[in-house]
Amino acid sequence: MVLLSWVISYLIGSISFSYLISKKIAGIDIRSHGSGNAGATNTLRVLGKGPAILVLLLDAAKGLLAMGITHLLTGGDPVAYAMSGLFAIAGHNWPIFFGFRGGKGIATTLGVALGFSPLAFLIGAVLAVVTIAITRYVSLGSLILVSVLPVAIYVLDKPNAFVWTSLALAVFAYIRHYNNIRNLLAGNERKLGDRSHRKL
Ligand code: G3P
């Protein structure tokens, strides 16, 4: 049952809502536009607020749904539950349905964080939003979020499996943000609302 729940989690994560929504409303592959990332930030950049909010919510819901199903199938085992969040993020980042070219996992991480601890989610999300509001770098906010989560989950005394899994999802996020980190260090990372990155 545990293995089955992880496979289901990976498959749920593999549903790339930014790809599906951008195809549906604009007939484009989001991965050929903007930053090339299949995620909410790039949807905002390319298609605007409405589609981006939809992608953010649906991608976050994937994490929660995967964990909810795992909870039901495994009777609440914390390791199975935590790992299913990680599998959902892996599906989002490397989706089996879309040539393994997905997003950076941040929206799905938000859903997983909510499943770990609403308070840790809130702390991470507030710090990320403040960072983005001040710097206009979504990637920096995302990296702050994933860095804060393991610490908050540890301090809040959540199960060890949640702490280790949130560390692993931070590693995923840092790997997926390799280009963003390089751009941030070089001072040419895309900022939210940049004129040169207007929507279609
Ligand atoms: O969540 C993804 C965000 O951190 C960066 O996205 O499109 O600017 O590379 P993007």
How far away, in angstroms, is 139 Cα from ligand 1 center?
5
Distance of CA 24 to the CA centre of its chain: 21
pLDDT digits (tens, 9 = 90+) for 77-135: 999 999 999 999 999 999 999 999 999 999 999 999 999 999 999 999 999 999 999 99
- Asked whether 141 lines ligand 1 (CB < 6 A), one says no
| pTM confidence score | 0.94
How far away, in angstroms, is 43 Cα from ligand 1 center?
10
Q: Give the residue from 93, 94, 68, 95 showing the smallest Cα distance to 81.
A: 68
- Reply yes or no on whether the pLDDT at 195 is more than 60: no
Whole-number percent of the chain with pLDDT over 90: 94
- Asked whether 142 lines ligand 1 (CB < 6 A), one says yes
- Asked whether 39 lines ligand 1 (CB < 6 A), one says yes
Q: Which atom of ligand 1 is nearest to the CA of 107?
A: 1
- Stretch 174-182: mean pLDDT, rounded? 97
**Ligand 1 pocket test: which of 32, 41, 129 has the largest number of ligand atoms within 8 Å of its C-beta?**
41
Structure tokens at 180: 């963003």
- The pLDDT assigned to 193 comes to 81
pLDDT digits (tens, 9 = 90+) for 26-75: 999 999 999 999 999 999 999 999 999 999 999 999 999 999 999 999 99
How far away, in angstroms, is 50 Cα from ligand 1 center?
17
Quote the CA–CA distance of 127 and 135 in Å, as a whole number: 12
Quote the CA–CA distance of 146 and 127 in Å, as a whole number: 10
- Asked whether 139 lines ligand 1 (CB < 6 A), one says yes
pLDDT digits (tens, 9 = 90+) for 112-127: 999 999 999 999 999 9
Whose C-alpha lies nearest to ligand 1, atom 6? 41
- Reply yes or no on whether the pLDDT at 199 is more than 80: no
- What ipTM, to 2 d.p.? 0.96
- The pLDDT assigned to 167 comes to 98
Confidence of residue 157 (pLDDT cuts 50, 70, 90): very high
- The pLDDT assigned to 194 comes to 78
Q: Spell out a b/e string for 113-148, using b for 16 or more CB atoms within 10 Å of the CB, else e.
A: bbbbbeebbebbbebbeebbeebebbbbbbbbbbbb
**Ligand 1 pocket test: which of 109, 112, 135, 142 has the largest number of ligand atoms within 8 Å of its C-beta?**
142
